[in-house]
């Protein structure tokens, strides 16, 4: 969604560099979870699962 894309773009801008490490991946994961949680609160999603790879 546009909201998730905005969240992720914000995370990329806020971080000087997003490394391909577990910590870097968790930055993107957090932004995705925030967007998905907003979808649940707004009644657009009933539930979701996020699967995140390890670096």
The pTM assigned to this predicted structure is 0.82
Q: d(Cα 27, Cα 25) in Å, to the nearest integer? A: 5
State pLDDT tens for residues 25-47: 999 999 999 999 999 999 999 98
- What the block records as the tokens of 46 is 């009933």
Q: Quickly state the pLDDT bin for 16 (edges 50, 70, 90).
A: confident
Q: Are 27 and 19 in contact (CB under 8 A)?
A: no
Is 1 a residue whose pLDDT tops 80?
Answer: no
Q: d(Cα 4, Cα 1) in Å, to the nearest integer? A: 5
Q: d(Cα 41, Cα 14) in Å, to the nearest integer? A: 25
């Amino acid at each position: 969604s546009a909201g998730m894309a905005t969240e992720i773009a914000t995370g990329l801008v806020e971080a000087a560099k997003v490394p391909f490490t577990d910590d870097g991946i968790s930055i993107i994961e957090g932004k995705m979870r925030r967007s998905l949680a907003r979808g649940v609160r707004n009644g657009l999603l009933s539930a979701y699962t996020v699967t995140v790879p390890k670096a």
